Amino acid sequence: MGEREPSGFWVWAAASFFYPLSWLGKRDYRGVEKLPATGGALLVMNHVSHLDPPNDAVFVHRNRRVPRFMAKDSLFKVPVFGRILAGSGGIPVYRGSAVAADSLRAAHAALREGKVVLIYPEGTITKDPTGWPMRARTGAARLALENDVPVIPAARWGTNDIWNGYTKKFRPFPRKPVVTVLGDPVDLSAYRGKPQTAALLREVTDLMMTEVRDLLAEVRGERPPAEFFNPAARSRAAADTDRDEAAG
């Protein structure tokens, strides 16, 4: 294993905060050799629990790299935690505002400076009732196509058994296994240099998330769904059903 990537005070402050949270689970790391020892890399991950960022940050840090998170801007306003997140190189994601594009610009800069950027393309904890990845946003595809860095799919499972953000259940004991697995870099050679149309960005996004989903299927030992859960489509279908019932 090579030398640790230089960090600084705020990274170690983040480590002191995240490491104890990661100890809530029994860590099981697989495919760690696929995380580059140096240079930029985009780590594309699924999202199942509020414990994912501490778990994933510790995973990267234990492998001698410094993680840069893309996280909701609201997290940067949380006392103490927000200062640690910003100081350690976190990248705030502003949605639906005039500065939304700044998020991607900061992520592009981090990748070009040789940093490891972690992104949850779903944008929030999956709303799939069975925990599979849902339809993702296309910002990760832009990052992947515009930067000549490895795009590494990764899946993590088990944090949801400790802290379920939707049922509000926190069950730290007995300690449960938390598996994190990395896959081979996604081959995007067929897409680079092409106009970034909405259709192409959607195709690349689904390709990356399919790799993540398949890794998760290996961890879970289950067959994944053929399509990504689409909460917007489900909401529209429910609204249509309500209108039909009202009309009937």
Q: What angle do CA 89, 12, 114 make, to 5 degrees?
A: 40
How many domains is the chain built from? 1
Q: 57 vs 4, which has greater pLDDT? A: 57
Q: Is residue 2 part of a domain?
A: no
Quick: pLDDT tens for 225-240.
Answer: 999 999 987 655 444 4
Whole-number pLDDT of residue 34: 97
Quick: pLDDT tens for 88-108.
Answer: 888 888 766 556 666 788 899
Whole-number pLDDT of residue 91: 87
**In which domain, by residue range, is 64 found?**
9-247
Q: What is the 3-state secondary structure (H, E, C) of 115-176?
A: CEEEECCCCCCCCCCCCCCECCCCHHHHHHHHCCCCEEEEEEECHHHHEECCCCEECCCCCE
Q: What angle do CA 49, 50, 54 make, to 5 degrees?
A: 110
Q: Is 235 left (phi over 0), alpha (psi -120 to 50) or beta?
A: alpha
Q: What is the mean pLDDT of residues 214-233?
A: 95
Whole-number pLDDT of residue 167: 86
Q: Is residue 90 part of a domain?
A: yes
Q: Is residue 1 part of a domain?
A: no
CATH number at residue 238: 3.40.1130.10
Q: Is residue 3 part of a domain?
A: no
Quick: pLDDT tens for 142-176.
Answer: 999 999 999 999 999 999 999 998 888 999 999 99
**Mean pLDDT, the chain, as a whole number?**
89
Q: What is the mean pLDDT of residues 209-233?
A: 96
Q: Is residue 4 part of a domain?
A: no
